[in-house]
Amino acid sequence: MVLPDGFAHPDPAVRLDTLITFLAQTPPEEAVQVAALCLHDSDPGIREEAAQYLSAHPTPEAAQAIAPIIQHPELPIRNLAGELLVRIGRPAVEALLPFVDSPNADVRKFAIDVLAQLPAQDVADRIAAHIEDPDVNVRLSVIDALGMLKATGYAPLLRQRYADHPQERAHILTALGAFRDPRDLKLIETALNDPDPVVRYAAAEALARYPIPEVLTLLLQQLAQATPEARPLILYDLIEAYESAPAPRPPLPETLRPYFLEMLFEPDLEFKKAAIRGLRYLFDTATLEALLEHAGQHDELDIALFEAIATHPETLTCIARCAESGRMSLNAAAGFTIALLAQGCIDDVQLPQAAQFLQAHFENLDAETKMAAITLALQLQHPAFSNLVQQGLHDPDPSVRHYADDVLYATQRK
C-alpha cells in the first residue's frame, strides 16, 4: 500500500489531517493497518485519533495489527496498545497469545496482564503454563490472571504454592478470594495473622469477597489488631463484606463510628466513600453533621454524601446549622439544598424553611449557585420562593441579573 506523503510530514498538524482524510476514504480492512502504525507516532494527538478509529473497528485484523505494539520500548505507547486490546475484547485474545511465550519477560508479563482483562477463560491453561516462569513478576501476573479469569481449576495448585513461595502469598490470597471457595477460608483466616502486613491485608481483602456473616467477625477481630495506618484498608474490606452479606445482617457495632469518621480525612477518595457507606448504618444527627463538613471537596464525594443523607428527616436543618456555624461552605450548603428540592426530598412543611435559607444567604453565593436557585424557584412555582427570583433580578452581578430576566421571560411565555 502506497501511503500519502503527508504521513511523513514534519508538522504534526499535517500528519493529523492526512490521517483523518485517509481513514475517511479507505476501507476498514486497510485503514486499521495504517491506524495501528500511527500508534507509533511521536504526536499524542495523532495517536489518539488512530486509537479512536481502532476502537470503533474492533476486528481480529485490528487486534493483530495492535498486538505487536505491546513490545514498544515507550511505556505510553505500550499502555495505549494494551488499552485498545481490552476495548477490542474477544478478538484480541488470539492476537495476544503468541506474546505470552515471548523471550522477553516484560512482554510476557504485559501480555498476561492484558489477557486477564479479556474474556480469555479458555486460554487459562496457556497462561498457567508460566507459573514456574524464571521471572518473578511473570509468575505473579500468572497468579493474578488466574484469579481475574476465575480459573478455579487451579485453586489446588495455588494452595500448594502458598506454603513454599512466600513472595507469592498475597497474590495467591487475592486469587483465592476471587474464587470464593469455602475450602480456602481456613487458609485465608490463618493468613490474617501472618507476620507480613501485606499478606494480612490481602487476606482481609480476600475474606471480604465471601458473602457470609462469619466474615464480619473475623474482620472486626483484624480491625482491633490493626495499626492506625492499616485501619482504612480493613474498614474498606469490612464494609464491602457487610454490604455483600445476605440478610438479615447484624447491626454494625457502635465502636466503628469513630474509625469511619476518622477515615473521612483519608486522602484516598475510595476510602472516603467507603467511610460514608459505613456511617449510613450508624446514622444520627451528629454523624450527619460530621459528614456535611466534607461537602464541596469533590463532585464524586458530594454525590456519595447526598445519597447518604438525602432521606434523613433532619438533613435540611443540619445543612442550615452547619452553614451558619461555618462547618460547611455556603455554596455547598445551598447546592445540597437545591439538590434536595430538585429530587423531591423536602416535604411541603419544610419548603418555607428551604426557601428562607436560600434567600437569607443568596447575596453570598457564587453566580452558578444563584442561577441554579433561580431556575429551581421558577420550576417549583411555590410562593415561598418568589423572592429568590426578585433577588436575582436585582443582583449586583450582571450575569445573574440577565439570567434571571431570561429564564423568567421564558417561563412566562409558556
Q: Is the pLDDT of residue 10 over 90?
A: yes
pLDDT at residue 96, as a whole number: 97
Break the chain into its structural domains and give their ranges.
Answer: 149-206, 210-281
pLDDT at residue 111, as a whole number: 98
Contacts of 319 (CB under 8 A, 6+ apart): 292, 328, 333, 336, 337, 357
pLDDT at residue 327, as a whole number: 95
Residue type present at position 36: A
pLDDT at residue 1, as a whole number: 62
pLDDT at residue 142, as a whole number: 98
pLDDT at residue 336, as a whole number: 97
Per-residue model confidence as pLDDT tens digits over 207-217: 988 877 788 88
Least confident of 20-34, 140-154, 220-234, 324-338: 220-234
Burial class (CB in 10 A: 0-12, 13-18, 19+), 215: buried
pLDDT at residue 43, as a whole number: 94
pLDDT at residue 212, as a whole number: 77
* Integer angstrom CA distances of residue 198 from 38, 171, 201, 298: 41, 10, 5, 30
pLDDT at residue 414, as a whole number: 59
Q: Please report which confidence band the pLDDT of residue 222 belongs to, taking 50, 70 and 90 as the band edges.
A: confident
Q: Please report which confidence band the pLDDT of residue 85 belongs to, taking 50, 70 and 90 as the band edges.
A: very high
Per-residue model confidence as pLDDT tens digits over 287-304: 999 999 999 999 999 999
pLDDT at residue 246, as a whole number: 82
Mean pLDDT of all residues in 123-131: 97
Per-residue model confidence as pLDDT tens digits over 306-317: 999 999 999 999
* Integer angstrom CA distances of residue 109 from 51, 105, 131, 145, 146: 23, 6, 12, 10, 13
Contacts of 162 (CB under 8 A, 6+ apart): 168, 169, 172, 173, 187
pLDDT at residue 247, as a whole number: 81
Chain mean pLDDT for the chain: 93
Q: Collapse the DSSP code of 163 into the 3-class scheme (helix H, G, I; strand E, B; otherwise coil) and give the result.
A: helix
pLDDT at residue 117, as a whole number: 98
